[in-house]
Structure 1
Amino acid sequence: MRQTARLPKSQRGPATPLRWSIVLYGVTAWVLVAGAALAQGQRATGSPQDIEAGKQIYTRKCAQCHGDDGKGEGPAAAVVFPKPRDFTRGVYKIRTTPSGMVPTDDDLFRAITLGLPGTSMPAWTALPERDRRLLVQYIKTFSDQFNEQTPTPIPFPPEVPPSSESIARGQELYRDAECWQCHGDEGRGDGPSLPDLKDDWDQPIWPANLTKCWNFRGGSTRQDIFRAFMTGLSGTPMPSYAEIFEPDQAWDLTNYVHALCRNRTIDIIVRGRTVDGNLPTDPNDPRWDEVQGIDFPLVGQIIQEPRHFTPAVDVVTVKALHNDTEIALLLIWDDRTHSKADSAAQIHDDAFVVQWPVRLSAGSEKPYFLYGDTSRPAYLWQWQASNEGIVELNATGFGTQSPQPKESQGLKGTTVYRHGQYKMLVRRALLTESKDIDLQFEEGKFIPIAFSAWDGSNGEVGNKRAISAWYYLYLEPTPAKTRFVYPIIAVVAIAAFEVFFSRPGRRRQSE
């Protein structure tokens, strides 16, 4: 390699201002050129070959919802909620960039890879990474915004660790910033602004239920929540708080929102604990706090007409107790509105149904999950907001359900609504005289159970509902009363044994 000759330091001239100016000019020019090159690299949309390859993937995987032209008007757009993204506007909710700026390539890649929980946008992890990156390049061609902006992620200041003090400060900020106006007093998305909320496309929009962080579109970590506060959700009523909160305040609010999220316990079996004495008669009885609840997911009913792709209720939490004569079931589900039928307002009743088989089969056979069939009828517990009490019905398929005779109605219970959440307590005798139409609850058996839910304010009525698959209730056997007798007998027997065999020893000592 050729080396440039340099004068010894003793023979070099002084560092004149002109020389320093040349050096400074060169460094500045290099920074500008490098920055421009970096920006150009961020704005690049890929080679023509990459764009064409991305288009082919988009047509196969994305156009059904987002449309061939990227305007969010594909064939499936009419049946999904929220509506698919209009890529031509260059407005994206989930970003690491400041409000009003387009997302980075990594932001788009992450959304494609992980999907958007709580929406119809699935995770595309099944696609090879290269295909997902080609999709990113093609999606960017729909909007000139990507050629006009240089997306730069927001900085993350030092975190404020979660603590009771930080959470308390965050709760105060939640009130002062009026987050409750949209998200509700307890974070379930039931705030007073709910009926009027719309996005920039004039479409109704639901505020996030902060207790269900698994549905957060951009992720549920503390860093994800902080980012949402700082960037806002473009195109929605959720603003950026970057100019409103100091970083420490934003972290306090983050810690409070993160603390609102409840833990999920998903299983296919809910166990009914056995208790001595009377069962709870109040949904808020503190004894329920000691019972493990199981979260059963619900989905839209899309098997029969009319199909429903956008249910509002997506999970029900179930707890169960029983004694030697009765069973008590507590069902908890979130609903942003407390709806009673109003034909003028086109609102229907909120409603809920617990479904059982009429009879337990010897094997794994169960009734058809949409209210049974002629060979295996279903037994239903139905609550409706406009009606009093909880009613027993039987059905051999949807549309055939009919109430049992008045003399057979044996359910006791109550339903309460508070801060965007229903709690329904139902009690019934384990065994009844109506064995031909009532399920007989047996301890130690796996009893099929399924659910249906209706949010009347979401246009849900009839077959437009949320449903579950069949799951199971298992009633733990009641311990036999002799369990208290045998230990006593054992103690007495041991004591008698010791007394009997210790007598000879005492007699010899006395002699």
Structure 2
Amino acid sequence: MSLEISRDVPTEAALQDVSPLIETLFGTPQSPRWPVEWMATDEQRSLVSLDRLKIAAGGVTSDQENAHTGLYQEHCVICHGISGSGAGPASRYQVPYPRDFRAGVFKWKSTSRSEKPTRDDLMQLLVKGIPGTPMPSFSILPPSEREAIVDYVIYLSVRGEVERELLAFAIDMLDYDTTPPEEDLRLRLVSTADSAEVPSEMTEGQEAIAEVIDDVVGRWTSAEPTPVPPYPELEGDELAASIERGKEIFHGQIANCAGCHGQGGAGGLPSLDYDDWTKDFTTRIGISPDDKDAVKPFRKAGALPPRQIDPRVLAGGIMHGGGDPETLYRRIQNGIAGTPMPSVEISEDSAGKTGLSPDQAWDLVNYLSEMIANP
């Protein structure tokens, strides 16, 4: 925050209030809470189940019926870390790095770029894994255990993002500086900070707490897949003509896929760019990822070494997020959150001007499918 706003911002005062507040509201990753008292709707309150969180959290155990608890620690923590930071013990040896859930950004999903994934999106990643990455399939787990892990991933993401937003709110809006602000502005529940109950009359600081929780959790409950028109089943000459049109679009100025993915999708064009998780502590706040001295404090705090992100090799490649036609259409339509992969506007009105028509998007999908299957 200090670097982002170009002034020294002592964090101790904000952390003194936000850290115990987060623990009161959400517990710890090993002993989670779900603060239903602070949620505005039944949908938000039921986003995750506390019973399932308790199955996923804590140390690994099993009983005589082989019912397991501590599922996250058993299956996920070695890569994603205790808090969901993506910096588990095995993380630095993996390409790409495991996901840091705490920023609330997910790449492989059916929703628009700025939205959260749906519950089904996360479940599909557990069932199928992410081909071409170290993320395996957990299809052998009982469905009830996968449901518990999905709940826990959502919990870690909400917990981390609420913490980030409250710290930012404290610095930007509530006059936290070298010392805490006046009592009405402080991010506190009660003087002992040992209760998650909503007071009958809230202070301005407590209203901020409710606002941030409603914003973060509300974006999870409102997430919906972007609509995709029916896939036109083509064969023979019609399919060949569609693929040829898609090839022109791939190499054309509007989609300009070749600009990153290379001619024919063969790759070989390094982007010299980084994903948003690296930009968060480098370019977004004016630090070059190559500046080891400037990056060093973040590395000491747990950040993984900056690593450039390269465009996918499409020809004969492996699609991390899936390669079926509907998924490819959504990748064109939504881009890939957290990465430099942009979206392309798809509508009849934008066709040939700033975007593609739905039929043109399907032509591009057919070309991509052909390129992937027959490089």
Q: Into which bin does the TM-score normalised by the smaller protein fall?
A: 0.5 to 0.7
Q: Which residue of 2 aligns with 1:83?
A: 97
Shift of 1:246: 2.1
Q: What's the counterpart of residue 261 of structure 2?
A: 183
Secondary structure of the equivalent of 2:263?
coil
- Identify which of 141, 148, 168 aligns with 2:218: 148
Which of residues 231, 241, 264 in structure 2 aligns to 1:159? 231
Matched, 1:227 2:330: yes
- 1:206 paired residue among 295, 305, 310: 310
C-alpha separation between the residues in 1 aligned to 2:359 and 2:247?
Answer: 14
Residue 359 of structure 2 corresponds to which residue in structure 1?
248
Matching of residue 170 in structure 1 with residue 246 in structure 2 = yes
Q: Deviations over 1:275-312 (max 9, x none)?
A: xxxxxxxxxxxxxxxxxxxxxxxxxxxxxxxxxxxxxx
Kindly indicate which of the two structures has a greater share of residues assigned to strand.
1
Residues 303-356 of structure 1: CA deviation (Å, up to 9, x unaligned): xxxxxxxxxxxxxxxxxxxxxxxxxxxxxxxxxxxxxxxxxxxxxxxxxxxxxx
Is the CA contact 2:80–2:99 (under 8 Å) kept in the aligned structure 1?
Answer: yes
Aligned AA (1:80) = Q
- The residue number in structure 2 matching 1:51 is 53
Matches within 5 A, 1:325-340: none
Calculate the aligned-residue CA RMSD, in Å. 2.1
What letter is aligned with 1:136?
Answer: V
Shift of 1:159: 2.4
Give the CA deviation at 1:132: 0.7
Distance change in 2, residues 1:185/1:142 (3 Å): same
Q: Which residue of 2 aligns with 1:123?
A: 137
The answer to whether the Cα contact below 8 Å between 1:115 and 1:122 also exists between their aligned partners in 2 is yes
The superposition leaves residues 178-224 of structure 1 with CA deviations (integer Å, 9 ceiling, x where unpaired) of: 21121110212223xx14132112331122121234x2112121122
User: How far apart in 2 are the matches of 1:85 and 1:222?
Assistant: 25
Distance 1:211 1:100, change over 3 A: same
Deviation at 1:171, TM superposition (A): 1.0
Contact (CA 8 Å) 2:84, 2:157: kept in 1 or not?
no
Give the secondary-structure state (helix, strand or coil) at the position aligned to 1:142: helix
CA deviation map 1:146-172 (0-9, x unaligned): 512111011111323441221111111
Paired with 2:313 and 2:45, the residues of 1 have a C-alpha distance of: 35
Q: Corresponding residue for 1:315?
A: none
When normalised by structure 2's length, the TM-score is: 0.56
After superposition, the Cα gap between the structure-2 partners of 1:187 and 1:69, relative to the gap in structure 1 and judged at 3 Å, is same
Identity %: 36
Which whole-Å deviations, capped at 9, do the CAs of 1:84-114 have from their partners, x for residues lacking one? 1010011111111111100000000000111
The one-character-per-residue Cα deviations of 1:461-487 (angstroms, maximum 9, x if unpaired) are xxxxxxxxxxxxxxxxxxxxxxxxxxx
Q: For residues 43 and 169 of structure 1, do their structure 2 counterparts lie closer, same or farther at Cα, with a shift above 3 Å needed?
A: farther
Q: Which moved more, 1:62-71 or 1:200-209?
A: 200-209
Q: In 1, are the aligned partners of 2:336 and 2:343 still within 8 Å (CA)?
A: yes
Return the offset for 1:173. 1.0
Question: In the alignment, is the contact (CA less than 8 A) between 1:45 and 1:138 conserved in 2?
Answer: no
For 1:165 and 1:173, the matched residues in 2 are separated by 13
- Please list, as runs of the form range in 1=range in 2, the aligned pairs for 1:111-510 lying within 5 A after superposition: 111-144=125-158, 147-149=217-219, 150-162=222-234, 163-176=239-252, 177-191=255-269, 194-202=270-278, 203-213=307-317, 215-243=318-346, 244-262=355-373
- Contact 2:332–2:343, Cα closer than 8 Å, also in 1: yes
User: Deviation at 1:263?
Assistant: 5.3
Q: Call closer, same or farther: CA 1:103–1:180 in 2, change over 3 Å.
A: same
Of Structure 1 and Structure 2, the greater helix share is in 2
1:479-501 deviations in Å (ceiling 9; x for gaps): xxxxxxxxxxxxxxxxxxxxxxx
Residue type matched to 2:323 in 1?
Answer: S
Taking CA–CA contacts closer than 8 Å with sequence separation of 6 or more, which of the two structures ends up with the larger relative contact order?
Answer: 2
Question: What code does the residue aligned with 1:169 have?
Answer: R
List per-residue Cα deviations over 1:10-62 (Å, max 9, x = no partner): xxxxxxxxxxxxxxxxxxxxxxxxxxxxx853773322221111222111110
Q: Using the alignment, how far apart are the partners of 1:98 and 1:229 within structure 2? A: 11
Cα distance in 1 for residues equivalent to 2:56 and 2:42: 20
For the pair shown, the structure with the greater C-alpha radius of gyration is: 1
Is 1:50–1:137's contact at 8 Å kept on the other side of the alignment? Answer: yes
Unaligned runs of 5+ in 1: 1-38, 265-511
